[in-house]
Structures are given as structure tokens and as C-alpha cells.
Amino acid sequence: MSESYYDILAVEKNASGEAIKKAYRKKAMKYHPDRNPGDAEAEMRFKEAAEAYEVLSDPQKRRIYDVYGKDGLRSSGYRGPGSSEDIFSHINEMFGDIFGFGGGRSRRQDPNAPVQGSDLRYDLRISFMDAVHGVDKEVEISKRETCWTCEGSGSRPGHKPQTCPTCHGRGQILRSQGFFQVSTPCPHCSGAGQVITEPCQDCGGEGLVRKEKKMNIHIPAGVDNGSRMRLSGEGEGGRRGGPSGDLYVVLHVEPHEYFQREDQTIFLRLPLAMASAALGCSLDVPTIHGNSRLDIPAGVQSGDHFTMRGQGVVSLRGGHRGDMIVEVQVQTPTRLSKEQKELLQRFAELSQEQEDGGFFSRLFQGHLGKQKKKGRSGKEHAAHG
């Protein structure tokens, strides 16, 4: 089992942001490849610490991880720092508020470049039948959208952000500490590279405004519990002309009272009266597509299975239907009228007559024969004794 992000940084689950930052600094200083040249294990530990810090230092990612784990992060669109080459660039960008390393690994980003909006996750609960047949659902999403008053710039219309006089638009300030070159966000512009002197009256300089949006989501027939749908461009709005993120809808399917599902196959337990099981019958059986006729042969037993072709779930990929498996459960009556008891008693007597000379009779007679033979052997043994 892989270590949790908290174990990697050696912090408690309720650790503060400052404690997480301090723990990461300690790990990064210990395992940084510049201090451990050619050590593959140290590089791996450095990458693990970087990924753990990226998630735990971000309140939204940390909240998803605490509830859903790494699978939840992947479902929300998070893919980790990336390749070996990208991780150093990613670390310098992500941890500039802690320290920066020289050596030409960092890749400076334009602080004025467009910023893509964040992806969002929405958990939607639907019924068993809605998952089987498909449905359109109207939902309301609370998200931050691009402020169209300022077009995501954060500045009041007619005004433009000013280049930060402290960092001259770079967003970072470099300092030397021994053999390290430390890069920290500019304290004047908070790393933006620009200063908004006239903030937009609608978004307060954020470039984004929170809105409630109603939207119709089409859920195709055949989805299953845990299915994930990606709605492109329906996430949070971008800033400075950047595109919107995506919305990931995760489906939670409620169980059905009678039907069970495994992929495209439906399972149903069918209660059957004792007389119908003995005599055989033809009856309407409920399926997910409506009632369908099923012929039950005489003498069916509890646990016997019947396959109803094409009465299962439609495939998402090609429209092919699965099957339905019906398991018979023969019901023994518990409340009988006087006439029913008399009829069953007569049935039992007739059954007994048929069984005479049958299996139980032969078994009983064979048992008596063995007893008699054993008795004779005992007497003979006593006589010789």
C-alpha cells in the first residue's frame, strides 16, 4: 500500500499550512538532487514530497484528497507534477514562496499570460432506472465565472494594470543564499507582475465573480455507479482571456429493490409457488424494459437459473443489450386452509406410495440386511469364543 501524502511529509492529518510548508522544506533540502547527485532514490523522494506538498498546500485539492483519496484527485482532473523534466520546473513555480534552486532548471512564466480556469467536480445521485435508460437532469452549479465587466483583467473598464515597480513585471525576486539562488514571490504584487490601481467594481480585482448556473445534463443510457462525465468549458472561468476549466460529473447510482446489476447483465430472484414449480407454468416476469413472458418447466428447483436474452443493460459503446439472469426461489406455503392441508396430505400419501420400493425403501431394507448379517456374525463369534 502506498504512503499517504501526510506520511510522506511526516505530518499529522490536521497539520496547519505552516507545518506542512516547514515539513516540505525539510524534505526538499534533504533530498534535492543538487545535494544528492546520481542518487535515484533521493530524486524519487524529492518528487514524492513535491507532489504531496502540491496537494496538501492547496485547500481545494486537500479537501478532495481527504474525502476521496488519490482516486478522487484523478477524478477531479489532477494528474500530478508530470514527467521528471517537468517536475523541477513545476517545483520552482509552485514553491517559490519557500525557496528556489539555481542551475538553470527553472522556466520563467509570463505573469501576464492568460490563466485557464480550474476544473470542478459535481457529484450527482440518480436512480437505478435512470442509469439504465438515461435521463436529462437539471442541476445548479455554484462556480466562479469570468467577470465580463473587466473581461477577467481585474481592472475597472478604461484602466489597465500597471507593471509592478518592485519586480518590474517578473513576479519574482531573486536572492542568493550560499550556493542556492532563492526565488520568492514579489511582496508588492504577490507574484502577479502587475498592480491593479483601479479594481473592477464587480469582481473587486479578482477577475472572477461567483454565480449560480442552472444547466441541463444529459445522462446516456447504460451508465453505471462511479461513471464520470466531462463537460468541456463548464468549470471555473479563466482570467486575462484564459479559457474556462472543465466540469466533471461523477454519478452515484442508487440500488434497486429487486434488480441487481453487473456490467450489462441484470439479475433477478423470482419467487415461485410450490405448485407452479412442480407443475410448470408460463408467467410475466418483470424486466428493466417491462414485463416479458418466461416458460418455467415442471419440476424446477430453487436455485435454477434461466437466461432472458436481450433483457439486460444497453452498452454505452455500441447499443448492444446484455441479458437478464432469473434465479428461481421456490416458496413453501406457511398458511394453509383446511382444504389445502387435506389436499397436501393426500399428495403426501400418494407420494409415499410411489416412493415404496424406491430409493428410501431400498436404503432402509439394505440397512436391515446389514444388521441381520452382523447379528449372525456376532453369534458365531460367541460360539467359537
The 10 Å Cβ neighbour count of residue 50 is 22
H-type alpha helices, 217-323: 274-279
Residue 362 resides in a domain: no
Cell numbers for 62: 486537500
H-type alpha helices, the chain: 5-9, 17-31, 40-56, 59-75, 84-94, 128-133, 274-279, 338-355, 359-384
**Do 264 and 308 fall into the same domain?**
yes
Return all residues near 378 (Cβ < 8 A) that are at least 6 apart.
none
Burial zone of 63 (CB within 10 Å; 0-12 exposed, 13-18 middle, 19+ buried): exposed
**Do 1 and 119 fall into the same domain?**
no
Dist. CA 208–CA 157, nearest whole Å: 15
**Do 124 and 86 fall into the same domain?**
no
pTM over 0.85, yes/no: no
Tell me which residue of 138, 137, 140, 119 sits closest to 234, measured CA to CA: 119
Domain boundary among 331, 354, 374: 331
The pLDDT value given to residue 376: 54
The pLDDT value given to residue 378: 47
**Do 143 and 91 fall into the same domain?**
no
Domain boundary among 255, 279, 298: 255
Residue 319 resides in a domain: yes
**Do 279 and 325 fall into the same domain?**
yes
**Do 143 and 23 fall into the same domain?**
no
Return all residues near 36 (Cβ < 8 A) that are at least 6 apart.
42, 43
The pLDDT value given to residue 99: 43
The pLDDT value given to residue 115: 78
The domain in which residue 28 lies consists of 1-107
**Do 70 and 5 fall into the same domain?**
yes
**Do 141 and 41 fall into the same domain?**
no
Q: What own/partner pairs with CB < 8 Å and gap ≥ 24 does 57-61 have?
A: 57/17, 57/20, 57/21, 57/24, 60/118
The pLDDT value given to residue 257: 93
- Domain with residue 310: its CATH number is 2.60.260.20
**Do 43 and 86 fall into the same domain?**
yes
Cell numbers for 103: 542551475
Contact in structure between 324 and 307 (CB atoms under 8 Å): yes
The pLDDT value given to residue 104: 38
**Do 58 and 130 fall into the same domain?**
no
Dist. CA 249–CA 243, nearest whole Å: 19
Q: Tell me which DSSP letter residue 236 carries.
A: S
Domain boundary among 207, 235, 255: 255
Q: Which amino acid, 235? A: G
**Do 121 and 146 fall into the same domain?**
yes
Residue 168 resides in a domain: no
Cell numbers for 370: 446389514
Overall number of domains in the chain: 3
Residue 186 resides in a domain: no
Residue 353 resides in a domain: no
Residue 383 resides in a domain: no
Dist. CA 257–CA 205, nearest whole Å: 53
> Could you give the maximum distance between any two Cα atoms of the chain, in Å?
128
Residue 280 resides in a domain: yes
**Do 78 and 43 fall into the same domain?**
yes
Q: What are the pLDDT tens digits along the chain (385 aa)? A: 578 999 999 999 999 988 998 888 888 878 876 667 778 888 888 888 888 888 998 888 898 888 888 887 877 667 665 444 344 444 444 444 444 444 333 444 555 567 788 899 999 999 999 999 999 999 999 998 888 888 788 888 888 888 888 888 887 887 766 556 677 888 888 777 888 888 888 888 888 889 898 999 999 999 999 999 999 888 888 877 778 889 999 999 999 999 999 999 999 999 998 888 888 889 999 999 999 999 999 989 989 999 999 999 999 887 789 999 999 999 887 787 888 788 877 877 776 755 555 555 555 555 555 555 555 544 444 333 3
The pLDDT value given to residue 290: 93
Residue 177 resides in a domain: no
Provide φ and ψ at 28, rounded to 5°: -65, -40
